[in-house]
Amino acid sequence: MPSGSLTPMALAVLETLHERPRHPYDIHQTMQEREVWRMLKLTTGSLYHTIERLAESGLIEVVETSRAGRRPERTTYRVTEAGVDAFAARLRTLVAEPVTEYPLYPLAVGFLHELERDDALFQLRRRTIALEAQLAADRVLETRVGELGVHPLYFSDVELRRRLREAELAFTRDLINRIETGQYTWPHAVGAPPRLSLVDEGNQESVG
């Protein structure tokens, strides 16, 4: 498995094994405690599959297999020198080189004109409400980990996500204002099919 093909889950496993050898259950528990799910989709199935692939690629290796009482047999892994090198190379690339990503909101904004004007405004207002709630949760988390004395670098991803949401919220509010004030008129394509609308007056009155 070349360093360039390391998935987010593979990076998370290697980062956890940097500290000491662990068995998969320990890796999963450590990820849960550190709230790795903030950065990637954490499932038991994807974790075990990733561990198998890393072992097959020689980036991690088995230290021992043991059994305690009636518990299932557990295999302990450690990161290899090749794993350390691959992790470092991939991490340096991710930090240093911006890549074009494809989040869904820009796609939705690009197709916004396909909705009726009032419908589009309604959905945009719904998004501002959701973003405000997410930002409130981000701030609570930042305050909590700060009070616990956690080193800021360990939760800098939370600050980054908060700032991105703040920028998205500011953009969305500005877009709403431009549409409402007529700075952005609604396009009317000749011969185009009817615009999409799922909003009735009762729903519109419930937001904004």
Average pLDDT (49-64) is: 96
CB of 9 closer than 8 Å to CB of 46: yes
Please check the confidence at residue 204 and state whether its pLDDT lies above 90. no
Residue 154 pLDDT level (bands cut at 50, 70, 90): confident
Please check the confidence at residue 19 and state whether its pLDDT lies above 70. yes
Residue 155 pLDDT level (bands cut at 50, 70, 90): confident
Instruction: State the architecture of 3-96 in CATH terms.
Output: Orthogonal Bundle (1.10)
Bridge pairing between strands 60-66 and 74-79: antiparallel
Average pLDDT, the chain: 88
The pLDDT of residue 141: 87
Average pLDDT (175-180) is: 97
Residue 49 pLDDT level (bands cut at 50, 70, 90): very high
pTM value surpassing 0.85: no
Of 63-67, 109-113, 185-189, which gets the smallest average pLDDT?
185-189
Please check the confidence at residue 203 and state whether its pLDDT lies above 70. no
Which range scores top for mean pLDDT: 71-75, 96-100, 131-135, 183-187?
A: 131-135
Residue ranges covered by each domain of the chain = 3-96, 104-205
One-letter amino acid of 6: L
**Token reading at 165:** 């949401």
Average pLDDT (130-140) is: 95
Residue 59 pLDDT level (bands cut at 50, 70, 90): very high
The pLDDT of residue 189: 57
3-state SS track over the chain: CCHHHCCHHHHHHHHHHCCCCECHHHHHHHHHHCCHHHCCCCCHHHHHHHHHHHHHCCCEEEEEEECCCCCCCEEEEEECHHHHHHHHHHHHHHHHCCCCCCCHHHHHHHCHHHECHHHHHHHHHHHHHHHHHHHHHHHHHHHHHHHCCCCHHHHHHHHHHHHHHHHHHHHHHHHHHHHHCCCCCCCCCCCCCCCECCCCHHHHHCCC
